[in-house]
Structure 1
């Protein structure tokens, strides 16, 4: 048995790719703080930064088998966090554009067709993000939100536990909230219910 905190990044990456949970924990402990500081400086929002880094580690565990065993783990994690930060900025930009166009609509008292075009664009953006969810999560989410099925009904239909269904719906909502921004997310929830 070895001491994980004395292992190199590449040794940890190798062990992680072989499903070693202790190696994952060591990578998390070694890099979380640094990545969080990096993300916080870029985003100027600690909660957003925490979400970004947590999502990165969630993905790291899910895709551990695809990890390059002899690659530079530190560079990989910083690149991944940078890409997630860019995604956040891109979604904020889309959200700001929508809010700005909505404000313009209200200010100029445009005709109903303009509003419908914007609503269609927002619906398209929401649909795009729902389609980007992992397949099982997307199926459960659509059964819950669009077909208004209970967690119990979905569990029976898909042969899953109610807890799994509940967790998948909760995770889907969290992902959509972080990707769409709070304004679009709330509009989406109001339309669905």
Structure 2
């Protein structure tokens, strides 16, 4: 068992196994903290994703951190404050969140959220062939099923499914190649947009 400071030093050297240890050690406590702030299961997952994605992308700074646990919780607090700041732009949405309504029932709230994780996914989606990208966007952002997408694009439902499977595989592989397996680990744990459902 390594202490957190040693793990941060190793992560700073791009040690993926050290990142995995930190991720598994802290994901639950950061998620619990996210629930307290956002009152939303989905928003808390987004908060945890954002913290760990940022941690990996800025890993060269980690060896200088003296208190890794404090650093992670500060990241979560900052992500929570950013979330609430975005939310405060719409008082009605804020009331709904504080009342405990799930954002999965609130597509407007989903659109309010902007995160590093979403930016990376958008970057990968932009690399897809046009029809795969269209299928991905209609499925993941418009919430259409295979048949609805097929009708809209004039293709069979099975063709839609094949396009979506290929698109999701490409996005996961793109993120893994460009940003490393730790980013994929975070997205697999909190899958959101990147898995068939």
What is the TM-score with the length of structure 1 in the denominator? 0.51
Residues 1-193 of structure 1 mapped to structure 2, 5 A cutoff: 6-96=1-91, 133=119, 137=122, 141=126, 149-151=130-132, 164=170
| 8 A Cα contact 2:124 2:171, kept in partner | no
In 2, distance between residues paired with 1:98 and 1:33?
A: 26
Q: Do 1:151 and 1:166's aligned partners in 2 also have CA atoms closer than 8 Å?
A: no
Cα displacement string for residues 127-163 of structure 1 (whole angstroms, at most 9, x for unaligned residues): x99xx946x955964x88xxx94458xxxxxxxx975
Q: Which has the higher helix share?
A: 1
Distance 1:64 1:98, change over 3 A: same
1:45-96 per-residue CA deviation (whole Å, 9 max, x = no partner) reads 1221111112211221222123244421111111111111011111111234
State the aligned residue count. 129
Q: Which has the higher contact order (CA 8 A, sep 6+)?
A: 2
CA RMSD of aligned residues (A): 4.2
**Counterpart Cα distance in 1 of 2:171 and 2:40:** 31
Alpha carbons of structure 1 residues 150 and 71: separation in structure 2 relative to 1, 3 Å: farther
Q: Is the 8 A contact 1:10 1:71 kept in 2?
A: yes
Gaps of 5+ in 1: 1-5, 100-124, 153-160, 169-193
**Highest Rg: 1 or 2?**
1
Cα pair 1:9 1:73 within 8 Å, conserved: yes
Unaligned runs of 5+ in 2: 95-110, 134-165, 175-197
